[in-house]
Every structure is written in C-alpha cells, then in structure tokens.
Amino acid sequence: MVTTARETPLEEELRRLAGSVPDPELPVLNLEELGVLRAVHARGPGSVEVELSPTYTGCPAIETMSADIERVLHEHGVPDVTVRPVLTPAWSTDDITPEGRRKLREFGIAPPRTTREPAGPVTVALGPTRHTASDGPSPSPSPAAPEQEPLACPHCGSTETELLSRFSSTACKALRRCLACREPFDHFKEL
C-alpha cells in the first residue's frame, strides 16, 4: 500500500478499507492492487473524500467502484463519503501492483507488460498478431514506440501466443491463445 507522508493514521485505515473493495470486472483484484485508488482525505468528523481514477475515461465500472467504496466506509461508521473521480494523473497499467500482477497470472489472465515512459504523447501502433519465442522482443512499429517483452501464457509460460481479438470480456483486455498449450486466455492490455 502506498501512502503519503501527509496521510494520518485515520486516513491510512480508511484507505485500507476503501482499497480492499474488489474490482467489479476483475474481482480477483482489489482497488488498491489495481492501482485506481489515489487518495483518501478525512475532511472532518465523519466526512471522507476518496479520489479514484478510472482505468479509462468512460469506464462503466467507476460507478460500481464508487458505490462499493461508499458502502464499505458507511459500514465502518463514516456517514459522509464522497468519491471523486480524478483523471490526472491518468491511470496506467503500470499502476497495478506486483501482487495484483501475480493474482492476474494465477487467475489465468496475462498481466500487462510494464510500459512506464516519460509523460507526453502516446504512440499508438498496431503490431503483429502472432509471436513466437524465436521472434524475440516484439519489433517496434515506429522509432518512437518501445520494444515490448514477449507475452507469456499464464497457463504454461510459453511466449508463443497469438492474438484472437483485440477486445475480450472487457475493453481493457484482449483475447489471445497459446500456441504451445492451445489454451485461450485474456491479456490485460497495456495502457
């Protein structure tokens, strides 16, 4: 759990409670592990403001996340809870904690590769749909785009995978298949 030096013990406890809420689309992760919980501020006796970043603008799960945070904090004696969406800094898949990545893999979802780059314009490029171990890292489609490490199957660990669909059960995931074990799996896309 990441806390700031200015966070009081009460705010730390409230953050722990709010962070324990399961993600509605990936209940194997909680909001802290997903990295969407930005801050919790005690605003006065019985009044709390929670800052929450959506995984992308327009994410339909933000309403459920907010309602679940409100419910949990109400159950723990906080009568006035405000959940405020924050778009800056934008959420990135790099915000998923190591524990969250481990849980995704164990659940059968390939976690996103680390993509943290300097702030600025985001290069969007379409790449190959099939990767094999002999390919090495994915080639860069343009000089501005970074190379990506091969994507490992969460079932058998093989890096020989293919893209079946750029979208899966949610807009945040792609559907892939392992060419070694032939199992399909979701890949939490890098953002």
pLDDT at 43 over 70: yes
> In the structure encoding, which two tokens stand for residue 116, read together?
């943290």
Amino acid at residue number 36 = V
| CA 87 to each of CA 22, 43, 103, 145, 173: distance values in angstroms, whole numbers, following the listed order | 21, 21, 26, 24, 20
Q: What is the CATH number of domain 9-85?
A: 3.30.300.130
DSSP-derived letter for residue 102 is H
pLDDT at 135 over 70: no
Query: pLDDT tens digit string along 77-129?
Result: 999 999 999 999 999 999 999 999 999 999 999 999 887 655 555 565 666 66
pLDDT at 143 over 80: no
Please say whether the beta carbons of 134 and 165 come within 8 A.
Answer: no
Give CA–CA dist 78/108, Å, rounded: 36
The closest alpha carbon to 100, from 40, 27, 151, belongs to 27
pLDDT at 170 over 50: yes
- Asked whether the bond before 89 is cis by omega within 30 degrees of 0, the reply is yes
What pLDDT is stored for residue 150 in this prediction?
Answer: 82
What pLDDT is stored for residue 58 in this prediction?
Answer: 82
Please say whether the beta carbons of 138 and 150 come within 8 A.
Answer: yes
Give the number of other CB atoms < 10 A from CB of residue 52. 21
Please say whether the beta carbons of 125 and 142 come within 8 A.
Answer: yes
Domains of the chain, residue spans: 9-85, 147-191
